[in-house]
Amino acid sequence: MNRLAKIEAAQAQAETQPWWRGAAIYQVYPRSFQDSNGDGIGDLAGVTRRLDYIAALGVDAIWISPFFTSPMKDFGYDVADYCGVDPIFGTLADFDALVARAHDLGLKVLIDQVYAHTSDEHPWFAESRASHTGPRADWYVWADAKADGSPPSNWQSVFGGPAWTWDARRGQYYLHNFLPGQPQLNGHLREVQDALLDAARFWLDRGVDGFRLDALNFAMHDPALTDNPPAPDDGKVRTRPFDFQQHLYNQSHAAIPAFIERIRSLCDHYGAVFTMAEVGGARALAEMHTFTSGDARLNSAYGFDFLYAERLTPRLVAQAQASWPDAPGTGWPSWAFENHDAPRALSRWCAPDQRDAFARMKAMLLITLRGNPIVYQGEELGLTQVEIPFEQLQDPEAIANWPLTLSRDGARTPLPWTAQDEHGGFSQNAPWLPPGEENLARAVDRQEADPASLLNLTRQLLALRRGQPALRWGSYDVLLADDAVLAVRRTFQGQSLLCLFNFTPDTVAAAALPAPAGRMLASVNGAGPEGLPPFGAMLIEETP
């Protein structure tokens, strides 16, 4: 069988795969994507206006961060109405128009669902705090004070301080694993689960193709309110009381998978709906495997292997991929190098004078991973972390822990569309965060005009991934992962691709690499038969 016949056979085999398996996803942080009405805040109409740009990248789906009705204490992750659109983002009609246009362009639409907590302005919480006996009295986690008036357990909040706040109206403490304005839902209660599933059904009926389930391992707690034990000293600087504990009882309850199975059952009723869990913490990998095991739980999990890594190394990549073996019953991974919560990768992983070359190698690495690659808006432009002065900070975690916690705001700055505009073409007026002078120089219009830009390379690499079954669905076999080089073979139905990466600013000679024999499909930073120049990478279709 010749090369073309093998690829055609592999593609025929691939038609049996669900659309989401191996799909490339583009994360949209709508507050910073495109402002359509001049108020300095991005909105749904702005996203719709720019969908052609996203489709031209070559991704399969978009994931839209929260746009729900919210007081915005945590920028939408404090939901006051699961079935409403916050006015700053537009209307339900705007959302419907976005979905329709995305589907016309062949893009699937994923949205966040936040099931661990709501806003303290949600009507459910208002009703729950009003009475010990009302219909929603137990929808949140309430507990009496200890005899001395102190909180019922030693649990600490992710964002700093105790995870309990006293409520005089109820005469009890309520639990919040994040901000006091994000009271913890009682996920153990069947009625709470039913209400959350009704919210999911609402969006599925509007054409949504999948969900990212935010902080899913926080969905249930230990009802006995057992104190968390202290965490051993790992030598790292601890900026929050949260870091001093092992989080055994405030999260990760053994009943969560049963709720997950209810979510999956609902989504299966709507066909090929994609479900992806966000799971962090010290036991994240084990929980991700539990949440995605078999055919009755979630399709994928979104890990933190790369998001907070101080360095990108061959061994880190090899270890992360080895954590998700191609074995029956094992879930499917999703990967991101950047997102709205993590510092921009180029500001973490390389020196400023290395960024252009490193970004090109990183782009090729992402599209060759086994799993779903997720591109965070602006990553395709090579955006870097913007330094936000204290007086302009919006991020509640960064404000509370300043200056030791790196602001999430620096990765949430507006996407620059035009380099000549002081607001980057994002808005007619001053945006909610400054775009950053350095990032304005990387604007879309400037890169579209440059055939050698990172934007155009990203488009080429995503198109390549879409056309290569071995990249979308193939096995991932590490041939070499040392201090400098990652060599990987991706295979699927007779097609074999050799992927070679140099993670260093030094040249790696061909003699130090697995011998490539075949057709070059892609190359960056001058990689070729002579070897890998600094941050060089190449992808070769091997000759049988």
Residue range 494-537, pLDDT digits in tens: 999 999 999 999 999 999 999 888 999 999 999 999 999 999 99
Note whether 501 and 536 are same-domain residues. Answer: yes
Query: What residue type is 59 in one-letter code?
Result: V
Note whether 512 and 459 are same-domain residues. Answer: no
d(CA 119, CA 125): 8
Owner of token pair 């000549």: 420
Query: What residue type is 370 in one-letter code?
Result: R
Note whether 524 and 415 are same-domain residues. Answer: no
Using alpha carbons, select from 286, 461, 496 the residue that is nearest to residue 373.
461
Note whether 275 and 400 are same-domain residues. Answer: yes
Note whether 214 and 350 are same-domain residues. Answer: yes
For residue 5, what pLDDT is reported?
64
Query: Is there a domain that residue 143 lies in?
Result: no
Query: Is there a domain that residue 178 lies in?
Result: no
Peptide bond into 180 cis (omega under 30): no
Query: What residue type is 542 in one-letter code?
Result: E
Query: Is there a domain that residue 158 lies in?
Result: no
Using alpha carbons, select from 23, 26, 207 the residue that is nearest to residue 101.
207
Written as one string, the DSSP assignment of 51-84 is HHHHHHHT-SEEEEPP-EE---TTTTSS-SEEEE
Domain end position, chosen among 429, 464, 499: 464
Query: Is there a domain that residue 145 lies in?
Result: no
Q: Are 229 and 245 in contact (CB under 8 A)?
A: yes
For residue 16, what pLDDT is reported?
83
What is the end-to-end Cα distance of the chain in Å, rounded?
A: 10
Find the catalytic residue in 94, 167, 278, 541: 278
Note whether 95 and 196 are same-domain residues. Answer: yes
Query: What residue type is 80 in one-letter code?
Result: A
Residue range 239-258, pLDDT digits in tens: 889 999 999 999 999 999 99
For residue 390, what pLDDT is reported?
84
CATH of the domain at 498: 2.60.40.1180
The answer to whether 380 is a known catalytic residue is no
For residue 451, what pLDDT is reported?
97
542 band by pLDDT with thresholds 50, 70 and 90: very high
Domain end position, chosen among 407, 433, 464: 464
CATH of the domain at 206: 3.20.20.80
Beta-bridged to residue 332, according to DSSP, are 300
DSSP state of 237: P
Checking if the pLDDT of 11 tops 80, the result is no
Query: What residue type is 478 in one-letter code?
Result: V
Q: Is 262 exposed, middle or buried (0-12, 13-18, 19+ CB in 10 A)?
A: middle
d(CA 477, CA 489): 5
Q: ∠ CA 496-497-500 to the nearest 5 degrees?
A: 145
Checking if the pLDDT of 425 tops 90, the result is yes
Find the catalytic residue in 86, 209, 214, 338: 214
The answer to whether 353 is a known catalytic residue is no
Note whether 401 and 492 are same-domain residues. Answer: no
Residue range 194-221, pLDDT digits in tens: 999 999 999 999 999 999 999 999 999 9
The whole-model pTM stands at: 0.96
Note whether 394 and 519 are same-domain residues. Answer: no
Q: What is the dihedral of CA 345, 346, 351, 352, to 10 degrees?
A: -150
Residue range 288-334, pLDDT digits in tens: 999 999 999 999 998 799 999 999 999 999 999 999 999 989 999 99
DSSP state of 31: G
Q: b/e map of 75-111 (b: 16 or more CB within 10 Å)?
A: bbbbbbbbeebbebbbeeebbebbbebbeeeebbbbb
Query: Is there a domain that residue 380 lies in?
Result: yes
3-state SS assignment for residue 448: helix
Note whether 249 and 390 are same-domain residues. Answer: yes
Checking if the pLDDT of 486 tops 70, the result is yes
529: Cα within 13 Å, side-chain hemisphere: 3
Checking if the pLDDT of 73 tops 80, the result is yes
Backbone dihedral angles phi then psi of residue 306, each to the nearest 5 degrees: -105, -25
DSSP state of 47: H
Q: What is the 3-state secondary structure (H, E, C) of 210-230?
A: EEEEECHHHCCCCCCCCCCCE
Domain count of the chain? 2
Checking if the pLDDT of 4 tops 80, the result is no
402 band by pLDDT with thresholds 50, 70 and 90: confident
For residue 393, what pLDDT is reported?
84
Query: Is there a domain that residue 270 lies in?
Result: yes
Q: Print the domain residue range for 500.
A: 474-542
Q: Are 533 and 46 in contact (CB under 8 A)?
A: no
Residue range 138-185, pLDDT digits in tens: 999 999 999 999 999 999 999 889 999 999 999 999 999 999 999 999
d(CA 333, CA 294): 14
Query: Residue 180 to residues 23, 224, 470: CA-CA distances in angstroms?
Result: 37, 21, 47
Owner of token pair 């990689």: 527
Note whether 313 and 449 are same-domain residues. Answer: yes
Domain end position, chosen among 436, 464, 492: 464
Note whether 530 and 393 are same-domain residues. Answer: no
Using only the alpha carbons of the chain, give its radius of gyration: 24
